[in-house]
Chain A
C-alpha cells in the first residue's frame, strides 16, 4: 500500500541512517515497516530475515514517545543484536565499519562537540521541526480537518529560537558544526530541518548562513544521494491526497490530536 512505503523515508532518523550507510557503502537491507497499520491493528513487524548484514527500518520516534500507539520496532538488527535510537545506530555503524574519521573525529575535543550537538538536538531541533509535518500534513490527513494556524505559529516560534542557537552556538562561522568537515552532527541536523521544508515551511529561506551550510552538507554527502533520500518528504503533498482506511482514521484521530498538546 502506498502509505507504508512513504513512511519509510518520511522518518528523519531513517534518512540519516540511510544516507550514512549509503555514503559509506555499508551493506544495508531496508525492511519496510508499516508503522501505523501494524501498531493499530496489532500486526507484528516483519521478522528479520537473519541476514548477515545489519538492516534497519524506520524507527518510531515520531511523537517522541507521547503517542503510545507507535510501538517501538527494532530499528537495526545485526544477527541477534537489535538496536534502537538513531544516535546509537549511527555510532555503531561508524565503529563497526570504520568509517572515515571526520564523521566522528578521534580528537577528543572535536568528538565532544559532535556529542554535544547530538545531545542538544533532542530537546531542541527535534522537539519542534517534526511537528510541522504533523500539523500541516499528517494530522489533517487522519482527522480530516486542518489545524488552527496558531498551532503552527507556536511550533515555528520554538523552531526559530532553536535555529538561532544552532547558528550562533553550533555552526558559527565554521563550514560544518565541528569544523571544516562534515560529521554525524551535521547529518542528524540536516535531515530534521528538511522536515519543515517538505511541508512548505522553508526555514532556509531567510537564513543565508544556514542555506550555505545546507549546500555544503548536500555536496559532502552527494547531491544525488541527498535528494534521493529526501524525495518522499519533498513530495509529501502527494500523501495528502491518499485514501486512508476509515477504520484506521477513526482509531488514530483522537490519539494524534492528543499528541499535539
Chain B
C-alpha cells in the first residue's frame, strides 16, 4: 500500500496538502472525503482518523491527522527542497510561528465566515443577518491586518526570500472567504502581490486545479447535507 491522502478540496488545509504533494511530485492516492455529506464521520473513515477531520494521511499502518503534521512529515520523508521548511534555525522558527498562530486567527475567522454564509442559511432557511456578516468581516480584517503587519511585513514571503509551508497554508486559508464572495485581497495590494508570488512559485495551473471545487461549490441544497450534519451545525453555531 502506498501513501493515501484523505482530502476534501473545499477545506483550506486539504488544498495546502494537495498542492504541496503535487508540486513536489510526491506519489499518493487521492481519497475523497465529502464533508458536506458527512463522510468524515463514517465508521470507515474513523478507522483512518478517529478525530474525524481532514486532511488525513495513511501509509500502511501509520495514520496521521492535522495538516501541519502531514506537511512536515511529507517534507521530511520526501526530502523536499529546503525553502519549504528551511534548515536555518531562525527562518524555520518563522515558519513555525505562523503555523502556530494561524489556528485561532485566520483559520478560525475565514472558516466561520464560510459556515455562516454558506451552510447555516441552508439549515435555517434564512440568509445570514447583515449585522452578523459585518462583524465576521471586521474580525477577518483584523487578522488580515495582523498577517500583513507581523508575518509578511516588507518581505516577499513569510520566512524571507523564498516560499515556504507557511505561505502555502496561509494563502489557502486567506482564499477561503472567496467561496462566499468575500474578496480578502480587495484593497490590499501587498497581500495581492504576495498571492501572485506564491502562486507563481507553486504553479498557476496547479492552484487552479486545487481550487476548482472551492470556486464552484455548487450551492448546497438541504438534501445534500445529512441530518446528522444538520444537527451538529445547529448545535455548534446556533446558540
Contact = CB atoms under 8 A, between A and B. Distances in A.
Contacts of A113: 64, 69
B216 interface: no
Interface string A113-126: 10110111011000
B16 to A, nearest CB: 13
Nearest to A72: B150
A88 B97 contact: yes
Instruction: Bin chain A's interface residue count.
Output: 20 to 34
Instruction: Identify which of B108, B143, B150 gathers the most chain A CB atoms within 10 Å of its CB.
Output: B108
Contacts of A65: 104-105, 143
B68 A109 contact: no
> DSSP class of A's interface residues: helix, strand, loop or mixed?
helix
Contact of A87 (B51, B96, B142): B96
Contacts of A64: 104
Interface string B31-74: 00000000000000000001100000000001011111110110
Given A81-B90, A123-B103, A165-B51, A112 B72 contact: yes
A95 B88 CA distance: 10
A151 B63 CA distance: 36
A169 B51 contact: yes
Contacts of A127: 104
Contact of B64 (A95, A112, A165): A112
Interface in B85-102: 89-90, 92-94, 96-97, 99-101
A112 B69 contact: yes
Contacts of B90: 81, 92
B223 to A, nearest CB: 29
B77 interface: yes
Nearest to A83: B93
Contacts of A109: 62, 73
A255 to B, nearest CB: 14
A110 to B, nearest CB: 11
Interface string B188-227: 0000000000000000000000000000000000000000
19 contacts: A65-B104, A65-B105, A72-B150, A85-B97, A87-B100, A88-B97, A92-B92, A92-B96, A95-B89, A111-B72, A111-B76, A115-B66, A115-B69, A116-B64, A119-B66, A120-B66, A122-B103, A165-B51, A169-B50
Given A65-B105, A92-B96, A115-B66, 16 more contacts: A64-B104, A65-B143, A84-B101, A85-B101, A87-B100, A95-B92, A113-B64, A113-B69, A115-B69, A116-B65, A116-B69, A119-B69, A120-B51, A165-B50, A169-B50, A169-B51
Interface of B: 50-51, 62, 64-70, 72-73, 76-77, 89-90, 92-94, 96-97, 99-101, 103-105, 108, 142-143, 150
Interface of A: 64-65, 68, 72, 81, 83-89, 91-92, 95-96, 108-109, 111-113, 115-116, 118-120, 122-123, 127, 165, 168-169
